[in-house]
Structure formats: C-alpha cells, structure tokens
Amino acid sequence: MFINPKTAVKKGWIENVKDSWIQPNAIDISADKLFKMNLATVFYIGDDKKTHRVRQEVQAGIVNNTWELEPGSYDFVSNVYVNIPEGMVGWVRVRSTFNRNGVNVGSGFYDSGYKGPICGTLYVTGITRMKQGTPVGQFIFAESDSEGIYAGGYNAEKGELPTHIK
C-alpha cells in the first residue's frame, strides 16, 4: 500500500519538499543538478567491481537558470533528501508532462536503510529546455516486508553527491 505523502514528510522520511509538491499519492522531486552521461565511455559491472560511465556537470544558463538539453542521458540529483526507514521502500516515477514530451526518468528502488539525495536518469529524446529545480518525477513510499536494510555505497550525507557522480 502507498503511504500518504504527508505522513512521510511529518515523520521526516523525506526533506526539502515544497508544500505544492505534495500530491495525492506521491511527492514531486526536483532536478537541481544535472550530469551528462558520456555514452562513449565503458560501463563495467562484475561480482567484485563496477566502473561507472564518465559524467560531466551541465551548467544552467545564466538567464532564467535554464538547461538546454540535447538528446542523451543525464543523471539528475535532487535537493530532496530521503532516509528510508526499515519496513518501507521508495521509488521514482516520471511526471506525466515529461513522459508526454519524450523525456523519461529511470531510477532504482530506494531500499529500507537508504539515506541520501533522490537521484535518477533523464532520458531525453529531443531538445528540451528545463528550468533548474523543476520537478521531474514523483517519489512514492510503500510498506515493505524488508529483508534487512541497505548499507551500500550509494548512501550519502546531506549535501553530498553519490559516489558514482563525484
């Protein structure tokens, strides 16, 4: 069952949320930093190692803090911070306006025990202009019969970037 978004805010599971971002079943999440993924670089994953693709931060334009995005893949980092308690799980879904315009959002599950900024990847299929801080997705909380808690390398303290982007 989905958790009422106001409950998640009141319990401190999610922070840096504007009141206008609280929707009936989810919470809007913003893209505050963008990093273009270099798809010509190699991504490797094995049992003992992973190497992420190279990323380069995209600076917003001086006028109106707007990004102009060419087709490609962009990691986003939100100023929205989550601390997922045991027995809960979260995930991000694309906002419908982006979906209807050829911009999709990908993100994995946010397991019990994850703490850090909400991040994901924007898959841009055509030239897109977007103001920095625009909500690109919605974060959903649900109950989970969790098998332990996440203690992996993507956890990050407030204000820090995840290790794969640094």
Answer yes or no: is 83 within a domain: yes
The answer to whether residue 5 scores a pLDDT higher than 90 is yes
Q: What is the DSSP string of 2-66?
A: BPPHHHHHHTTSEES--GGGB-SS-EEEE--EEEEE-TTSPPEE-SS-EEPPPEEEEPPPTTTTE
Q: What confidence tier does 164 reach under pLDDT thresholds 50, 70, 90?
A: confident
Query: What is the predicted pLDDT for the residue at 166?
Result: 62
Answer yes or no: is 110 within a domain: yes
The answer to whether residue 17 scores a pLDDT higher than 90 is yes
**What's the predicted TM-score (pTM) here?**
0.89
Answer yes or no: is 156 within a domain: no
Q: Of 19, 160, 147, 23, give the one whose Cα is nearest residue 92.
A: 23
What proportion of the chain, given as a percentage, has pLDDT over 90?
Answer: 80
Query: What is the predicted pLDDT for the residue at 117?
Result: 95
Answer yes or no: is 165 within a domain: no
pLDDT digits over 129-147, tens only? 999 999 999 999 999 987 8
- For the domain that residue 27 is a member of, what is the CATH number? 2.70.40.10
CA pair distance 123, 105, nearest whole angstrom: 6
Answer yes or no: is 57 within a domain: yes
Answer yes or no: is 157 within a domain: no
Query: What is the predicted pLDDT for the residue at 163?
Result: 72
pLDDT digits over 50-63, tens only? 899 999 999 988 77
Answer yes or no: is 120 within a domain: yes
Number of domains in the chain: 1
Answer yes or no: is 75 within a domain: yes
pLDDT digits over 67-98, tens only? 999 999 999 999 999 999 999 999 999 999 99
Provide the domain limits for residue 127: 5-143
